[in-house]
Amino acid sequence: MPKQGITFETVRKVGLALPGVEAGTAYGSPALKVQGKLLACIAIHKSAELNSLAVRIAFEDRTGLIESDPDVYYLTPHYVDHPMVLVRLSSLTAKQLKDLLVMALRFVTSTGVPTRPRRSSRTDR
Protein backbone atom coordinates (compact mmCIF):
# COMPACT_ATOMS: atom_id res chain seq x y z
CA MET A 1 0.00 0.00 0.00
CA PRO A 2 1.54 3.35 -1.00
CA LYS A 3 2.12 5.92 1.67
CA GLN A 4 -0.35 8.76 1.79
CA GLY A 5 -0.18 12.03 3.63
CA ILE A 6 -1.88 12.03 7.03
CA THR A 7 -3.29 15.21 8.55
CA PHE A 8 -3.76 15.99 12.23
CA GLU A 9 -7.50 15.59 11.65
CA THR A 10 -6.83 11.96 10.72
CA VAL A 11 -4.60 11.60 13.80
CA ARG A 12 -7.41 13.02 15.92
CA LYS A 13 -10.04 10.66 14.49
CA VAL A 14 -7.86 7.57 14.93
CA GLY A 15 -6.78 8.62 18.41
CA LEU A 16 -10.29 9.41 19.64
CA ALA A 17 -11.38 5.89 18.66
CA LEU A 18 -8.95 4.50 21.26
CA PRO A 19 -10.15 3.98 24.85
CA GLY A 20 -9.79 7.00 27.13
CA VAL A 21 -8.25 9.30 24.53
CA GLU A 22 -9.54 12.85 24.36
CA ALA A 23 -8.77 15.95 22.32
CA GLY A 24 -6.90 18.77 23.99
CA THR A 25 -3.99 21.12 23.53
CA ALA A 26 -0.32 21.10 24.48
CA TYR A 27 1.87 24.17 24.23
CA GLY A 28 -0.97 25.88 22.32
CA SER A 29 -1.04 23.12 19.72
CA PRO A 30 -3.78 20.54 19.03
CA ALA A 31 -3.08 17.37 20.98
CA LEU A 32 -4.42 14.03 22.11
CA LYS A 33 -4.34 13.16 25.80
CA VAL A 34 -5.23 10.24 28.02
CA GLN A 35 -5.85 10.59 31.75
CA GLY A 36 -4.67 14.20 31.38
CA LYS A 37 -1.28 13.08 30.03
CA LEU A 38 0.03 14.00 26.60
CA LEU A 39 -0.22 11.23 24.03
CA ALA A 40 0.56 13.10 20.80
CA CYS A 41 0.60 16.65 19.49
CA ILE A 42 1.67 18.67 16.52
CA ALA A 43 5.40 19.22 16.95
CA ILE A 44 5.92 22.95 17.39
CA HIS A 45 9.55 23.16 18.48
CA LYS A 46 11.61 24.99 15.85
CA SER A 47 13.87 21.95 15.44
CA ALA A 48 10.99 19.78 14.17
CA GLU A 49 10.18 19.65 10.49
CA LEU A 50 6.92 21.20 9.33
CA ASN A 51 3.93 18.82 9.37
CA SER A 52 5.42 16.62 12.09
CA LEU A 53 3.73 14.90 14.98
CA ALA A 54 5.36 14.39 18.39
CA VAL A 55 4.28 11.10 19.99
CA ARG A 56 5.14 9.86 23.50
CA ILE A 57 6.68 6.39 23.45
CA ALA A 58 9.34 4.46 25.33
CA PHE A 59 12.95 5.29 24.49
CA GLU A 60 13.55 1.69 23.36
CA ASP A 61 10.56 1.78 21.00
CA ARG A 62 11.73 5.12 19.62
CA THR A 63 15.10 3.67 18.71
CA GLY A 64 13.49 0.74 16.92
CA LEU A 65 11.11 2.95 14.96
CA ILE A 66 13.83 5.32 13.79
CA GLU A 67 16.08 2.42 12.77
CA SER A 68 13.26 0.63 10.93
CA ASP A 69 11.96 3.63 8.95
CA PRO A 70 14.04 6.83 9.20
CA ASP A 71 12.01 8.42 6.39
CA VAL A 72 8.99 8.44 8.72
CA TYR A 73 10.40 8.58 12.27
CA TYR A 74 13.12 10.94 13.40
CA LEU A 75 14.54 12.84 16.35
CA THR A 76 16.12 16.24 16.95
CA PRO A 77 18.43 17.18 19.82
CA HIS A 78 15.56 18.99 21.58
CA TYR A 79 13.64 15.72 22.00
CA VAL A 80 16.55 13.43 22.97
CA ASP A 81 15.78 13.50 26.70
CA HIS A 82 12.03 13.19 26.19
CA PRO A 83 10.24 9.86 25.67
CA MET A 84 8.95 10.98 22.28
CA VAL A 85 9.45 10.36 18.60
CA LEU A 86 8.87 12.81 15.78
CA VAL A 87 6.83 11.60 12.83
CA ARG A 88 6.67 12.99 9.31
CA LEU A 89 2.92 12.94 8.66
CA SER A 90 3.46 13.19 4.90
CA SER A 91 5.28 9.82 4.95
CA LEU A 92 3.08 7.97 7.45
CA THR A 93 0.54 5.30 6.45
CA ALA A 94 -2.82 4.82 8.17
CA LYS A 95 -1.64 1.47 9.58
CA GLN A 96 1.57 2.99 10.95
CA LEU A 97 -0.49 5.76 12.55
CA LYS A 98 -2.84 3.36 14.32
CA ASP A 99 0.01 1.11 15.48
CA LEU A 100 1.96 4.14 16.75
CA LEU A 101 -0.99 5.57 18.69
CA VAL A 102 -1.70 2.17 20.27
CA MET A 103 1.98 1.95 21.27
CA ALA A 104 1.80 5.46 22.73
CA LEU A 105 -1.41 4.68 24.61
CA ARG A 106 0.18 1.62 26.22
CA PHE A 107 3.23 3.67 27.18
CA VAL A 108 1.33 6.61 28.66
CA THR A 109 -1.08 4.43 30.64
CA SER A 110 1.57 2.03 31.93
CA THR A 111 2.81 2.22 35.49
CA GLY A 112 5.93 4.25 36.08
CA VAL A 113 5.76 6.53 33.05
CA PRO A 114 7.77 9.63 33.91
CA THR A 115 5.60 12.73 34.04
CA ARG A 116 8.64 14.94 33.50
CA PRO A 117 11.54 14.19 31.18
CA ARG A 118 14.68 12.85 32.82
CA ARG A 119 17.85 14.66 31.90
CA SER A 120 20.66 12.40 30.79
CA SER A 121 23.18 14.88 32.20
CA ARG A 122 21.68 14.72 35.69
CA THR A 123 23.51 12.55 38.19
CA ASP A 124 21.78 10.45 40.82
CA ARG A 125 22.19 11.64 44.38
Q: For position 98, what pLDDT does the model report?
A: 97
Range of the domain at 82: 8-109
Residue 97, amino acid: L
Q: How many helices (H) and strands (E) does the chain have?
A: 3, 6
Number of structural domains (the chain) is 1
Per-residue pLDDT tens for 59-88? Answer: 999 999 999 999 999 999 999 999 999 999
The verdict on residue 58 lying in a domain is yes
Provide the pLDDT for residue 111: 61
Residue 82 lies in a domain: yes
Q: C-alpha angle with apex 48: 18 to 2, nearest 5 degrees? A: 60
Examine residue 52 and state whether it is found in any structural domain, yes or no: yes
Domain assignment present for 122:
no
Q: Which residues pair with 84 in a beta bridge?
A: 56
Predicted pLDDT at 5: 72
Q: One digit per residue, pLDDT tens: the chain, 125 residues?
A: 444 579 999 999 999 999 999 999 998 999 999 999 999 999 999 999 999 999 999 999 999 999 999 999 999 999 999 999 999 999 999 999 999 999 999 999 996 555 444 444 444 43
**Residue 117 located in a structural domain:** no
Rounded to two decimals, the pTM is 0.84
**For residue 27, which phi and psi values (nearest 5 degrees)?**
55, 35
CB atoms within 10 A of CB 99: 12
Q: Is residue 40 part of a domain?
A: yes
CATH classification at residue 72: 3.90.1150.30
- Measured CA to CA, the distance from residue 73 to residue 89 in angstroms comes to 9
